[in-house]
A and B are shown apart, each in its own frame.
Chain A
Amino acid sequence: KAGVTQTPRYLIKTRGQQVTLSCSPISGHRSVSWYQQTPGQGLQFLFEYFSETQRNKGNFPGRFSGRQFSNSRSEMNVSTLELGDSALYLCASSLETGTNQPQHFGDGTRLSIL
């Protein structure tokens, strides 16, 4: 069974640009969450999608957005990139959205802003 796949693995952008990251969940998983991981802030929750609907959102500005498609694949978009957006972005999927559902993580997309 294939794991969570994130593309691309590495990305270099400049300030002001925008970027789209992609996540393919484990087959059959309908919930997809996104996280930003930085050395200073640790792992911070961005948002969660379930059945193409955003179910939960963290405390990030509106420059960060996402969507989920009918096949459960998800994309995350960041517009007007800032230097502080440099981070490892992790996607995680789970079967359903429920309290005892473990999440399965991809290896992440490392975004560097120059």
Chain B
Amino acid sequence: GNSVTQMEGPVTLSEEAFLTINCTYTATGYPSLFWYVQYPGEGLQLLLKATKADDKGSNKGFEATYRKETTSFHLEKGSVQVSDSAVYFCALRVGTSGTYKYIFGTGTRLKVLA
């Protein structure tokens, strides 16, 4: 079946620290991979995406590379800020014409301290 596994949080870091949030997946076919971020009281926002193996998605200093050989899509940022505090969701979308499904991880809460 299709599934997404994220590292459990919360993750607490000091400002300017390096961030890694691990995400691995199992999927049939050729999924697209996404990272979404959710700030308190809001819905999810797309952070970045990758649609095929070895693609690197990047946005706002965050990066993730689609690794088919390790079925991973780890999120990284070189220097986090207090404003990055949020819940991060890894997701995959898989399917065939007319029948697609999004599978989300359980989310990883990040707290950045000043």
Contacts and interface: CB of A to CB of B under 8 A. Distances in A.
Contact of B49 (A35, A102, A107): A102
Main SS at interface, chain A: strand
Contacts, number: 62
Interface string B68-80: 0000000000000
Interface residues of B, number: 27
A35 B91 CA distance: 13
Nearest to B34: A102
B18 interface: no
A55 B99 CA distance: 6
B61 interface: no
23 contacts: A4-B43, A33-B102, A43-B104, A48-B100, A56-B100, A90-B44, A92-B43, A97-B100, A98-B100, A99-B30, A99-B51, A99-B93, A99-B100, A100-B32, A100-B49, A100-B51, A102-B34, A102-B46, A102-B49, A103-B44, A103-B46, A103-B102, A107-B41
